[in-house]
């Protein structure tokens, strides 16, 4: 499921987005290898005196933030001013996320933030969204959700774990169906259809949420505003 360009491209994107964080802000901390560069850069800035608090989007980002020395808070205590998060594919400012199976908490934090900065290498850019859409389902809902996804002309596949027998189990104790819809003509419509299925906790279509896309290339970073 993981794909992408070079670590150098990811680093450029992550560090450029971290530079956009101001003193005193609450920052949503995304998940994945590109967001990890932003978290490490923010940690270095905190070492140098930047006063921020982070809201992690996953076990991974919480651990990284703790290692980096970023003070943490929760959505119970604070609303993020800004969130920095990765993506598996970006088209017209809409995203498919969930390659790390963290999309439920990512969407919660990213949507709560005043601004969402997406960080990606240029291999993630596409004309149309087309990679499989991760759908987090309650364990009991796996078959009914898969049947409904087929009715929506998707092809659901239970995500298998690596270095563990059986399926991926999310930070929330659920399963992930990677649902291949081919090219998605109407991301907003598909997002609504998936959200309406009983037993779906969250899906990886992020529609109209991104405020800026930081794209790392071999030379530099370009910032796109949808």
Q: Give the catalytic positions in this structure.
A: 106
Q: What is the dihedral of CA 150, 155, 160, 165, to 10 degrees?
A: 60
Binding-site size for ligand 5RP (CB under 6 A) equals 21
C-beta closer to ligand 5RP: residue 1 or 144? 1
DSSP reduced 3-state for 33: helix
Q: Fill in the DSSP letter of residue 171.
A: T
d(CA 89, CA 93) in angstroms, rounded, equals 10
C-beta closer to ligand 5RP: residue 193 or 202? 202
Please pick, from the candidates 33, 61, 89, 174, the single residue that binds ligand 5RP as defined by CB under 6 A: 33
d(CA 57, CA 186) in angstroms, rounded, equals 27
CB neighbourhood size of 111 (10 A) = 13
**Smallest gap from residue 162 Cβ to ligand 5RP (A):** 14
C-beta closer to ligand 5RP: residue 24 or 117? 117
Please pick, from the candidates 28, 43, 56, 100, the single residue that binds ligand 5RP as defined by CB under 6 A: 100
Nearest to 145 by CA among 183, 175, 173: 175
C-beta closer to ligand 5RP: residue 8 or 143? 8
Please pick, from the candidates 11, 40, 62, 103, the single residue that binds ligand 5RP as defined by CB under 6 A: 103
**Beta bridge partner(s), residue 215:** 120, 222
Please pick, from the candidates 42, 102, 194, 207, the single residue that binds ligand 5RP as defined by CB under 6 A: 102
Residue 92: phi, psi to the nearest 5? 55, 30
Asked whether 107 and 141 are in contact (CB, 8 A), the reply is no
**Beta bridge partner(s), residue 176:** 136
The interface with ligand 5RP within residues 11-30 (CB under 6 A) comprises 30
**Smallest gap from residue 14 Cβ to ligand 5RP (A):** 8
Please pick, from the candidates 34, 61, 89, 170, the single residue that binds ligand 5RP as defined by CB under 6 A: 34
Please pick, from the candidates 85, 110, 136, 178, the single residue that binds ligand 5RP as defined by CB under 6 A: 85
The interface with ligand 5RP within residues 43-82 (CB under 6 A) comprises none
Q: Is 97 in the site for ligand 5RP (CB under 6 A)?
A: yes
C-beta closer to ligand 5RP: residue 36 or 45? 36
- Angle at which helix 7-19 crosses helix 33-47, to 10 degrees, equals 50
Nearest to 44 by CA among 11, 75, 74, 73: 11
What is the binding site for ligand 5RP (CB under 6 A)? 2, 4, 10, 30-35, 85-88, 97-103, 106
């Amino acid at each position: 499921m993981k794909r992408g360009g070079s670590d150098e491209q990811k680093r450029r994107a992550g560090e450029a987005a971290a530079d956009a964080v101001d003193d005193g802000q609450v920052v949503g901390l995304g998940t994945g290898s590109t967001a990890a560069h932003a978290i490490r850069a923010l940690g270095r800035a905190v070492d140098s005196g930047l006063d921020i608090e982070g809201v992690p989007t996953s076990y991974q980002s919480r651990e990284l933030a703790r290692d980096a020395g970023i003070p943490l808070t929760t959505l119970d205590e604070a609303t993020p001013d800004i969130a920095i998060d990765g993506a598996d594919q970006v088209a017209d400012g809409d995203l498919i996320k969930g390659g790390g199976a963290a999309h439920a908490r990512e969407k919660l934090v990213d949507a709560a933030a005043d601004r969402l900065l997406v960080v990606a290498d240029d291999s993630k850019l596409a004309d149309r969204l087309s990679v499989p859409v991760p759908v987090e389902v309650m364990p009991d809902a796996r078959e009914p959700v898969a049947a409904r996804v087929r009715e929506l002309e998707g092809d659901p596949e239970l995500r298998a774990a690596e270095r563990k027998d059986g399926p991926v189990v999310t930070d929330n104790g659920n399963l992930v169906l990677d649902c291949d819809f081919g090219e998605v003509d109407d991301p907003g419509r598909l997002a609504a259809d998936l959200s309406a299925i009983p037993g779906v906790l969250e899906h990886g279509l992020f529609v109209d949420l991104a405020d800026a896309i930081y794209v790392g290339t071999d030379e530099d970073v370009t910032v796109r505003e949808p």
